[in-house]
Amino acid sequence: MKEFLVLSPTAILGYGFPLSSFKEGLSRQPDAIAVDAGSTDPGPYYLGAGAPFTSRNAVLRDLRYLLEASVNNKIPLLIGSAGGSGGEPHLKRDLDLVMEIARQKDLHFKMAVIHAEVDREKVRDSLRRNKVKPLGPVPPLREKDLDEAVRIVGQMGVEPLVGALETGAQVVIAGRAYDPSVFAAPACQAGYRPGPAIHMGKILECGAIASTPGSGSDCLLGRIGVGYFEVETLNPARVCTVISVAAHTLYEKSDPVYLPLPGGCLDLKMTRFKQVAENRVRVTGSRFIPTQKYTVKLEGVKKAGFRTVTIAGCRDPVMIREIDHVMEIVKERARDNFAGEVSNYSLNFKIYGKNGVMGVMEPVRDAVPHEIGIVIEVIGKTQEIADTICGFARSAMLHSSYPGRTATAGNLAFPFSPAEFRGGEVFNYNIYHLMEVADPFELFPMEIINV
């Protein structure tokens, strides 16, 4: 079998890429172009709100180059987790952009659209048949969670994407997908083993982040042969090294040897990395182990309320020393002031310079910063409740007394006026579970469009 080449233009559709790198990739005559368009990294808001987390103009720019290159050179183009979260509104946004470009450029092609939003009643039926299990340290799924869920998506594996390619589709746009799937699917369809193909997809999914210096806004080329795959940079300013590629293998993984995925896991016990050129690394020994029962990861969110935020700074060493005491005073003042009038809210503080990143897990306890940044966040049942509590907490903290305070002026410096910002709707993940399915295609219907 001849080597099969997959071009990854960028870490996420809309993150951009240098045209010089992309053109260099096209000069290698790749067999497929694949790009991941989403993630759970930005949090649950985008899935719940049905909003993309990449801007329309940025995605339009990337798509224009990718679509023209695909159609004009007859190279299949695969897009996974369309619109960011891969639900129906997200899929529609990217689908509309593809159609807009096709009209502008007079492009004609066959397109497969794979849906990933899951009917809650289908999940309910599986739950009642004991076919849904928690994924990680989350509680068992309840029917109440399904009732509260605003939107549920399933994370597809390579099989629906292979099925789409087998229809002869030039372009494949998929809803929520396991990140490496769009990169692995064309290699699997070409006859390569899933272990090396999926591992290659794992490296390609974030573009040139797996290089040195890394970048999510640059291209990476993968090539797979019998028993191995290689990844190489296309920008002379970057190189792939054994360390950079091995490190990205561990990206977002808690186990360095077994990497779970739809329908099985990658076994990396025998995986080896070798530098075969200055900018290219060869990987061997990656194996795919199928599970006895095929499961699909479900992601669902529920509405938690509305958010209002205030940002402030403090440089008073006495207040910084007493900041924990001040926060408790402010919380107690809010509880007392609105007792019996306003409920259904949470008041939270993030203190940057102290433990704003790690919170209670922060191991450095005795450092005394010369200044701190304070984020006051309120989540209320309504936007009005969030506004009310946040405004009160801001003024209470501004004028709060504390041991050692002598000044009567305000305690805080506010960089913005108005000081409060409405954050709008807030969503939380309430479904993060594995659902057993009869086959890999069950949750992912496909339609064919002749553009």
d(CA 15, CA 24): 18
Q: Over the chain (451 residues), what is each successive 10-residue block's mean pLDDT?
A: 96 98 98 96 96 96 98 98 98 98 98 98 98 95 98 98 98 98 98 98 97 97 97 98 96 89 96 97 97 97 98 96 96 93 91 94 92 98 96 96 89 96 97 97 98 97
Residue ranges covered by each domain of the chain: 4-299+431-450, 316-412
What is the predicted pLDDT for the residue at 373?
Answer: 98
pLDDT at 409: 86
Q: 59, 101 in Cβ contact below 8 A?
A: no
Does 18 sit behind a cis peptide bond, omega within 30 degrees of 0 on the bond before it? no
Q: What are the φ and ψ backbone dihedral angles of 47, each rounded to 5 degrees?
A: -65, -45
Q: Is 74 exposed, middle or buried (0-12, 13-18, 19+ CB in 10 A)?
A: exposed
Give the helix/strand (H/E) hosting 446.
Answer: strand 446-450
Return the axis-axis angle of helices 158-166 and 194-204, rounded to nearest 10°.
100
Q: What is the pTM of this model?
A: 0.94
For residue 430, give the nearest of 156, 148, 155 by alpha carbon.
148
pLDDT for 252 equals: 83
pLDDT of residue 340: 82
Query: Any bridge partners for residue 425, and if so which?
Result: 306
